[in-house]
Each structure stands twice: as C-alpha cells, then as structure tokens.
Amino acid sequence: MKEITPSEVQERLESGETLHLVDVREDDEVAEGIIPGALHIPLGEVAERVNELDKSKSYILICRSGGRSGRATEFLEAQGYDATNMTGGMLEWEGATE
C-alpha cells in the first residue's frame, strides 16, 4: 500500500498542487474539521459510493489516525483505483481545516 505523511500532503497543497482527498471518518469527526476540498465518504459507505470516484485520478485517503483510511486504501486498490493512505491521519495534520 502506498503511503504519504500529513506533512507531505500539506506541502503539496501549499505548493498549489490539486489533490483528490477522501476523508473516511464519521460525520461527528468531520464536524470537528476537514481538510478544505476533501470529499467526505464515511468508511462504511465507501463500497456503495465508489462510483463517485474517477479511476483516472489518484486519491489520498484520510481518517483520524490512519487505520480506517488504510482499509479504504486497500479496498480501492482492489477495485483498480490509484489510492494512497495518509499515515497518522488528522491526529498529525497541522494544516488548515474547515
């Protein structure tokens, strides 16, 4: 599984790169703050909402600590998507949230 750190994601966003972020946390967790521009799909809904994602794009999966996003990354990879897990999750995120 491909992995990226929160600081690497932040650096890429701050340099103006367009990233396709998917936050798989639950609604109450996302209410506390989400990375601007991230798509919110709770982990339990990823399988039924996978059609919302474009196989031609690369996705970075995010959760609280990296565990659930790791499972989502493995699922998406098995479905033929280019997916990367953000290790450490939002616990290690120091960038902007909305």
Tell me the mean pLDDT per 10 residues along the chain, length 98: 98 97 98 97 98 98 98 98 98 97
Q: Which of 35, 41, 53, 63 is catalytic?
A: 63
Q: How many CA atoms lie within 13 A of 28 on its CB side?
A: 0
63 is catalytic: yes
Tell me what pLDDT residue 39 has. 98
Give pLDDT, residue 42. Answer: 98
pTM confidence score:
0.97
Pairing of strands 39-40, 2-4: unpaired
In CATH, which superfamily holds the domain spanning 2-91?
Rhodanese-like domain (3.40.250.10)
Phi, psi of 76 (to 5 degrees): -65, -40
